[in-house]
Amino acid sequence: MENNTDNYYIRLCLQQVETKLKRGCSTEWTTYDFDKLSVEIQEATGVSLSVTTLKRLWGKLSYQHMPAMTTLNTIARFAGYEDWRDFKQQSQADLPVAENTAAENHLLKENISTAGHPLKESLSTATPLPEQQPSAAAHLPQQDKKRWRYAWLILLLLPVAGAFFLWGRQPVKKINAAAYQFSSNKMVTEGVPNSVVFNYDAVAAGDDTVFIAQTWDISRKVAVPKDKHQYSAIYYIPGYFKAKLMVGEQIVKTHDLLITSGGWVALCEKPSRVPVYFKKHEFQRDSMLSVDVPLLQQYYLYDRPEPAPIRFVNVQDMGSLRNDHFVFETMVKNPKNDKSAACQLVQVLLLCKDDVIVVPLCPKGCVGDLQLYGRGKGVSSKDADLSGFGCDLDNWVPLKVEGKGRKLRFWVNGEMAYELDCPNAATDIVGLQCRFFGPGAIKNTRFIQDDRVLAL
């Protein structure tokens, strides 16, 4: 019975997370969306949940166990609660006992679309929870009870829906953006960690709440006092960010923020906010970057239930290099080891201003669950042939990406793997990020633009 109740609350919490993420229905999510969620959760809670863990929660991967309490506490905190227990208590308090129980029974019986998720089996076979208070429906036939419950819920929600309707019809107050100031200063020129001091003047906000969003995603905003003028934050991973000053839900000021890496950075993400950084002499040898098993063991990162999430990152001002006129080349290796997952995924990200290009690589037998993304166009192997991205990652795999006008072309092992027609406008390329699970290596990495070669 306890598992059935937990399943109801898990689904309820995931729905709140989806609403907060604002990336549409989770049935349409790709690995890119789960990666975005992972980053947002880490920045909001200081805890890193891997893409694999998130996919298991949402039923994208089969896993016949209840989530760990650490995971439940983290998603509850991201949804806006103190922890999992606080979420459950507040959710129980939202409705009177009888109606709350009816809602639980209804959700427990829903046929939720979860591909191989343990919740599906539990939810579909769940026994209705016992009523906790006697109600008028207790003596009705079963069918009438259901109708009564639905009618009661509808009546309960009508005032809420009416309030939202009237609230939505209220005119949005126009804000004079010229009355606000917003800028930032990095504490170090390059490298991470890097602290940033945001300077702002928002006294004109009056009774409205003032927020600073440190990235492109305004849902990850932080309320700041309108009578103060500074707010500080630490950036642990290099990248391009679009900082925003907000008054209520309106953006009044914005500016670019480029956290450069100072060459290559190799790191391992951890459940805590602060990653493990590897020293350059430990992973960089001429044009090759490598994090191997001995190095992971040295940092106590190898003997873990899941492979360590490793990132190679290089972010810098690349001048006139743009994503509609370039060639990118590298060689990638992700050798199997006794900690490897069956389907070991590698992602190569070309970081752009306000955009990204995400290239997946995996063993040939695992190409049925890949997502390719570039300049506003996403493709899933569920409805496209991405078999060209399957390869033998035990050996060096040549990867090439070419941007020409609206087209992005991808080559793996010298053969054309896919071509994208991209809707987003062209923008500057500012860096590269390679993601592995467990030991990984890259070499001979460079960008080419006409006669210009930028070796990384």
Same domain, 308 and 440: yes
**For residue 92, is pLDDT > 90?**
no
- Kindly state whether residue 169 falls inside one of the protein's structural domains: no
- Kindly state whether residue 328 falls inside one of the protein's structural domains: yes
- Kindly state whether residue 446 falls inside one of the protein's structural domains: yes
Instruction: List, for residues 177-233, the tens digit of each pLDDT value.
Output: 899 999 999 999 999 999 999 999 999 998 888 999 887 666 678 899 989 999 999
Same domain, 56 and 191: no
**For residue 447, is pLDDT > 90?**
yes
Query: pLDDT above 90 covers what percent of the chain?
Result: 50
- Kindly state whether residue 36 falls inside one of the protein's structural domains: yes
Same domain, 279 and 240: no
Choosing from 195, 227, 259, the residue where a domain stops is: 259
- Kindly state whether residue 217 falls inside one of the protein's structural domains: yes
Same domain, 274 and 253: no
The pTM for the full model equals 0.65
Instruction: Name the domain count of the chain.
Output: 3
User: What average pLDDT does range 148-170 have in this prediction?
Assistant: 57
- Kindly state whether residue 172 falls inside one of the protein's structural domains: no
- Kindly state whether residue 184 falls inside one of the protein's structural domains: yes
Instruction: List, for residues 302-346, the tens digit of each pLDDT value.
Output: 888 888 999 999 999 999 999 999 999 999 999 887 666 778 899
Same domain, 108 and 212: no
> What is the extent of the structural domain holding 210?
177-259
Same domain, 330 and 200: no
Instruction: List, for residues 298-312, the tens digit of each pLDDT value.
Output: 999 988 888 899 999
Same domain, 253 and 362: no
Give me the CATH number covering residue 211. 2.60.40
- Kindly state whether residue 163 falls inside one of the protein's structural domains: no
The count of other CB atoms within 10 Å of the CB of residue 220 is 17
Strand partners, 241: 257
